Chains A and B, each alone.
Chain A
Amino acid sequence: MYHAIKKKDLQALLDILNQSHQCVGPLVSEQTLKYSSISKLSQLPLGYSDQQQPGEYRLNYNSQSSYYFSITTGAQGVKPWLFKPEQKLWSVNKQNGSIEFNEALSEQKPLAIVGLRACDLAALKLQDQHFLQQQYIDPYYAQHRENLFIVAVNCHRSVDTCFCASTGDGPEVKNAYDLLLTELEQDFVIQSGSEAGRNVLEILSSRIPLHIVTAEQEQEKQQGLDKASQQVRRIPDRPVAQLLSHRLNHQQWNRIAQRCLSCGNCTMVCPSCFCHKEYDEPALDLTGSTHIRQWDSCFTAEHSYIAGFHFRKETRQHYRQWLTHKFAFWHEQYGRSGCTGCGRCISWCPVGIDVTEELELLCQEPSCYVDG
């Protein structure tokens, strides 16, 4: 059952969520979008939209616009809230020759995220698979994920770097949400996708009027989704995974390496990348130490380092590792590709390397590769 609510009434939803959760939403910060704590509707970027190109990210403002959710994506999705860029894992104390470990896990207020897009929701499911559904459960990820309440938003526009339609992950949000919003010119269409969502919707109905969605509103919703589905970029409609794993000596890897700075930006903005390193921060008086994990990137030389040897020294090998992992090996690890088409790696690459274009060239027929 869909309902429509007036735009101003979204405040009531924020109020309800903030009672039991820490509510975060897409706010403008440092000239991009950043999920930050939100309590007032007026904090949302009314009238702002984004413009993205390879190596380019711009926000535009239109004072006439009635839209709160016209910015498709910022540099980060929800990942930093669950898989933290830096996370204290445990600490150790030394006393009279004995040591003692202390787990750095504490009770957290449940998190509610408002405004999550289809591509980022799909990436969240990939992170769930990696951190929660294998042999070992990651308690640091789980503590934020367990009670996460998701208010997803359907995209009503796309930018030039979007390609979620070709990965099958968007622009329409189809599952894994508690509540789903679709923004129209005057209203939001709101629907629930879980029991928790239905409960919140019921509380909401006692505070604000929920209208039955009209045929016109339904049509407007569909038009927005259709518009967002018109995307200029796509991943090749070929067996990318097999082609890539058989083209490890393709000349295109060398051509990419001539442009790639090996800066690792693509991995830092990617909503599915999970690599992290662990390190110690010893106390100055040496009585103890804190063990920390921090996001890492396969574009660094240290990533493949063991006692005196780097398995991947060259930029060509870094980029190939990233791309083959994301588009080939991920299938064997998690049953699908590791890319959900958000396009961040294209926009935030300082030299504008376009992953869809590189895939096209690498997977092109007739092939010009020499395997060996």
Chain B
Amino acid sequence: MLMDKKLTNKKPLNPYLPAIATVLENRFETPDIFTLRLKFKDPQLAGQYHFEPGQFNMLYMPGVGEVPISIVSDPDDIHIIDHTIRAVGRVTRVLQQLKAGDEIGIRGPYGSSWPMAQIKQQDVLIITGGLGCAPVVSVINYIVKRRSDFGRLVIMQGVKHSNDLIWKDQYEQWDALDNTQVALAANQTTPAWNWSSGYVTDLFDEVCFNPINSIAMLCGPEIMMSATVRELLQRGLSEAQIWLTMERNMQCAIGHCGHCQHGSKFVCKDGPVFNYPVVKDWFFREGF
């Protein structure tokens, strides 16, 4: 039997097919973290492209494969797309070798974004764990650029070792801004470290925000986000005030390949940014 015609009378774009991106710059942040600055080769595609903070692209290294990478540049900057990547896997290790002028594949943007439009004039808590958390860097820059639209900005970051912190100067610059506070914690520290020691959850006594009018955005390992959610709830935030971004195996990014399923959600298209109540039934549960 014929399919419903209304679904197919226009030739659909092939959502699996990448476009070509040119590498403008490959900047090394640390020995294994790098930022790829890309531009669409086709100016028409560049003009059509628009993303929101929290979304990601699929980057394709010819002959090697595709990986989902979050976008760290500002959505208003239409000429460039920045991706900060840690070289940990088969594809990212090869992406690390790229040089200006090289061409790779790009598809996107995909997934949900941080609720920037809904949180005007609220205090924003950005709580991250692990190495520089790319999915929220775009949010920090977004707020900094539109500072009067938001309330207090609190940036909390935990790292394993104080040497792991990237963008150190950047944190100091943010901390110096009006109505903005940065709190950093490291489990292991060197004498040069003048922030706190411990976990990111140990920083709550140091920061100041209005729990009634705050929104929290979490990024990091699930064990860290789970502990942070508990802490936030104790400190008077409701579950609906908590947002987080998740990582799963994503191969198609369009909700077809099935790998990223988390309970009933496809992390690639229903996420990666979720409001906590949406995922809490399976969040940080073994096997999900």
By a beta-carbon cutoff of 8 Å, the part of chain A in contact with chain B is 89-90, 92, 94, 97-101, 103, 105, 128, 130-140, 142, 145-150, 176-178, 193-194, 196-197, 245, 248, 274-280, 282-283, 286, 288-289, 291, 293, 296, 298, 303-308, 311-312, 314, 316-317, 320-321, 325, 328-333
Contact A128 B287 (CB under 8 A): no
B244-288 near A? 1/0 per residue, CB < 8 Å = 000111011011111101011010010000000000010001111
The 6 closest A-B pairs by CB, nearest first: A275-B258, A317-B287, A332-B264, A282-B63, A329-B264, A289-B63
Contact of A274 among B8, B62, B248, B258 (CB under 8 A): B258
Q: B234 at interface (Cβ–Cβ under 8 A)?
A: no
State the CA gap A196–B2 with chains docked (Å).
8
Contact of B259 among A105, A303, A333 (CB under 8 A): A303
State the CA gap A306–B263 with chains docked (Å).
17
Which B-chain residue is minimally distant from A176 (CB atoms)? Answer: B1
State the CA gap A320–B282 with chains docked (Å).
13
Contact A329 B248 (CB under 8 A): no
Which B-chain residue is minimally distant from A105 (CB atoms)? Answer: B14
Which B-chain residue is minimally distant from A133 (CB atoms)? Answer: B7
Q: B45 at interface (Cβ–Cβ under 8 A)?
A: no
With A92-B60, A103-B14, A135-B254 given, name 5 new contacts (CB 8 A): A99-B104, A101-B17, A196-B1, A317-B286, A321-B288
Contact B88 A307 (CB under 8 A): yes
Q: List 12 A-B contacts (CB under 8 A).
A: A92-B60, A103-B17, A132-B3, A139-B15, A140-B16, A276-B256, A276-B257, A277-B259, A278-B65, A307-B88, A312-B287, A329-B263
Q: B43 at interface (Cβ–Cβ under 8 A)?
A: no
Q: B75 at interface (Cβ–Cβ under 8 A)?
A: no
A207 to chain B, nearest CB (A): 23
Given A99-B103, A101-B17, is A275 in contact with B257 using a C-beta cutoff of 8 Å? yes
Number of residue pairs A-B, CB distance < 8 angstroms: 161
Contact of A135 among B8, B17, B102, B269 (CB under 8 A): B269
Given A277-B257, A289-B63, A308-B88, is A89 in contact with B16 using a C-beta cutoff of 8 Å? yes
State the CA gap A58–B255 with chains docked (Å).
37
Contact B16 A90 (CB under 8 A): yes
Given A99-B104, A329-B264, is A306 in contact with B287 using a C-beta cutoff of 8 Å? no
State the CA gap A325–B259 with chains docked (Å).
12
Residues of A within 8 A of B103 (CB): 97-99
B225 to chain A, nearest CB (A): 15
Interface centre among B2, B64, B251, B263 (most CB of A within 10 A): B2
B92 to chain A, nearest CB (A): 8
Residues of B within 8 A of A146 (CB): 2-3, 8
Interface residues of B in 85-110 (CB under 8 A from A): 88-89, 92, 101-105
Contact of A136 among B105, B254, B286 (CB under 8 A): B254
Contact A142 B2 (CB under 8 A): no
B82 to chain A, nearest CB (A): 20
Q: B115 at interface (Cβ–Cβ under 8 A)?
A: no
Residues of B within 8 A of A291 (CB): 16, 60
State the CA gap A279–B258 with chains docked (Å).
15
Which A-chain residue is minimally distant from B88 (CB atoms)? Answer: A307
State the CA gap A146–B12 with chains docked (Å).
12
A107 to chain B, nearest CB (A): 13
